[in-house]
């Protein structure tokens, strides 16, 4: 029996130094040149077959076991966010305005650690592990699609054909020690929308001669609140958030146009369908009632991340054996955040799990995407141990 936790512990200094190096030098989506370069070099030094440039800055490494078997893709995202770091940590970002505020520096370090562990036990591996270091999870960043989609376009799921996927996220919503491995939906599907309202501009003192798009926008925003409160069943999950409102140039001018943008989140395809329908009807209908024309544009960002029951059950079993003292949580766990791993799990059965990483005593409990976000690095060890042992188990 391989003691994966002990192996991850023995490699902790390596994992931590990698994580801190990535943290000091964060790179935005599709610009992970330095990060990807280090990843490729590390994987090559282990003797893996490495391909660069899959999804622009993505890196893929193949580790073949000595026995034949299926192919498992394990994915780690590498990108940082356009945030100015305010943690005061000794490893603070040296790239002004860019910060690893979601923990992807930790994911990349975990991936390299898993590669070391599995390479050492290659003789016991049945099948192939495809290490997938993905760029731009956080968005398109000026490209026509995000990192996961671009890697799929470039063939990451073929040659060899991927049978299952595993991926993880360090999770500051939960304390160090908590491990969340759930069946079914875990991350919401996301859409982004724009509503452009066109009225008729004029003098602020003569509203009766205008069609005021600001008054119409206010009604539309209010009415949209009823999509989730009146059209979605109380035990179902959905979010409709208007997040930007833009209109007007002067205090005495009624403008011609108003523009709203925002996001819609859902899990269930039927709920999504209903929400999109009502969203469109309300935006157009209310705008029309107010005399305005509405252009409504809704674009899908990602589908929901749905874990495969059988793959999730295997990971739960692994976690129970590996970390008997850990607070393994197998209850349904759904967050309204989005994650582009959904595109891979839409094509291949997989499991996306969470590693609790906050530590209130050490003040490491700010939320993801906060300028003070940081996590307890001990979570890296648990993440690496669970990913390595779950990978080996699934290939068994
Ligand atoms: Ni993230």
Each residue's pLDDT tens digit in the chain (396 positions)? 899 999 999 999 999 999 999 999 999 999 999 999 999 999 999 999 999 999 999 999 999 999 999 999 999 999 999 999 999 999 999 999 999 999 999 999 999 999 999 999 999 999 999 999 999 999 889 999 999 999 999 999 999 999 999 999 999 999 999 999 999 999 999 999 999 999 999 999 999 999 999 999 999 999 999 999 999 999 999 999 999 999 999 999 999 999 999 999 999 999 999 999 999 999 999 999 999 999 999 999 999 999 999 999 999 999 999 987 778 999 999 999 999 999 999 999 999 999 999 999 999 999 999 999 999 999 999 999 999 999 999 998
Domains, the chain, with CATH or none: 4-187+304-394 (3.40.630.10), 189-301 (3.30.70.360)
The pLDDT of residue 324 is 77
The CA 360 to ligand 1 mean position distance, Å, reads 20
- Whole-model pTM: value is 0.91
Ligand 1 is an ion; residues with CB less than 5 A from it: 102
The CA 138 to ligand 1 mean position distance, Å, reads 7
Residues in the chain: 396
CA 91 to chain centre: 24
The pLDDT of residue 385 is 97
User: In angstroms, rounded to a whole number, what is the distance separating the alpha carbons of residues 270 and 272?
Assistant: 5
Query: Which runs of E-coded beta strand occur in the chain?
Result: 49-52, 59-64, 67-77, 126-134, 164-175, 178-180, 184-187, 189-198, 202-203, 238-247, 253-254, 257-266, 293-302, 305-307, 327-329, 350-358
Do residues 36 and 52 touch, judged by C-beta distance below 8 A? yes
**Helices 269-289, 213-230: crossing angle, 10 deg rounding:** 150
The pLDDT of residue 238 is 96
Catalytic residue numbers, as ranges: 79, 137
The CA 385 to ligand 1 mean position distance, Å, reads 20
Whether the ω angle into residue 9 lies within 30 degrees of 0, i.e. cis, is no
The CA 103 to ligand 1 mean position distance, Å, reads 6
Do residues 323 and 283 touch, judged by C-beta distance below 8 A? no
The CA 78 to ligand 1 mean position distance, Å, reads 9
210-221 core/surface letters (b: 16 or more CB in 10 A; e: else): bbbbebbbebbb
């Amino acid at each position: 029996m391989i003691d994966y936790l002990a192996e991850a512990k023995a490699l902790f200094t390596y994992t931590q130094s990698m994580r801190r190096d990535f943290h000091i030098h964060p790179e935005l989506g599709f610009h992970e040149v330095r990060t990807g370069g280090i990843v490729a070099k590390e994987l090559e030094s282990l003797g893996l077959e490495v391909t660069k440039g899959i999804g622009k800055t993505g890196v893929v490494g193949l580790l073949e076991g000595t026995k034949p078997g299926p192919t498992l893709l394990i994915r780690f995202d590498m990108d940082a966010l356009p945030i100015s770091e305010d943690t005061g940590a000794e490893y603070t970002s040296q790239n002004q305005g860019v910060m690893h505020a979601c923990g992807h520096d930790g994911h990349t370090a975990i991936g390299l650690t898993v590669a070391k562990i599995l390479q050492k036990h290659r003789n016991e591996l049945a099948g192939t592990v495809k290490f997938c270091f993905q760029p731009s999870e956080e968005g398109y960043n000026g490209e026509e699609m995000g990192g996961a989609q671009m890697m799929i376009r470039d063939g990451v799921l073929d040659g060899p054909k991927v049978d299952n996927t595993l991926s993880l996220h360090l999770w500051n919503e939960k304390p160090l020690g908590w491990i969340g491995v759930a069946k079914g939906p875990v991350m919401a599907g996301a859409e982004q929308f724009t509503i452009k309202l066109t009225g008729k501009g004029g003098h602020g003192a003569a509203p009766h001669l205008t069609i005021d798009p600001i008054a119409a926008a206010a009604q539309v925003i209010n009415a949209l609140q009823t999509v989730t409160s009146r059209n979605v069943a109380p035990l179902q999950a959905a979010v409709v958030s208007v997040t930007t409102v833009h209109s007007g140039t002067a205090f005495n001018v009624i403008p011609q146009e108003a523009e709203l943008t925002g996001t819609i989140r859902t899990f269930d395809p039927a709920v999504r369908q209903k929400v999109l329908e009502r969203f469109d009807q309300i935006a157009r209908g209310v705008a029309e009632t107010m005399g305005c024309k509405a252009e409504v544009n809704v674009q899908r960002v990602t589908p929901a991340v749905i874990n495969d029951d059988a793959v999730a059950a295997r990971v739960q079993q692994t976690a129970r054996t590996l970390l008997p003292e850990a607070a393994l949580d197998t209850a349904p766990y759904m967050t309204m955040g989005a994650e582009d791993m959904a595109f891979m799990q839409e094509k291949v059965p997989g499991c996306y799990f969470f590693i609790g990483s906050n530590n209130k005593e050490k003040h490491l409990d700010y939320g993801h995407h906060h300028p003070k976000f940081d996590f307890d690095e001990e979570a890296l060890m648990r993440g690496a141990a669970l990913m390595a042992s779950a990978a080996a188990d699934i290939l068994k």
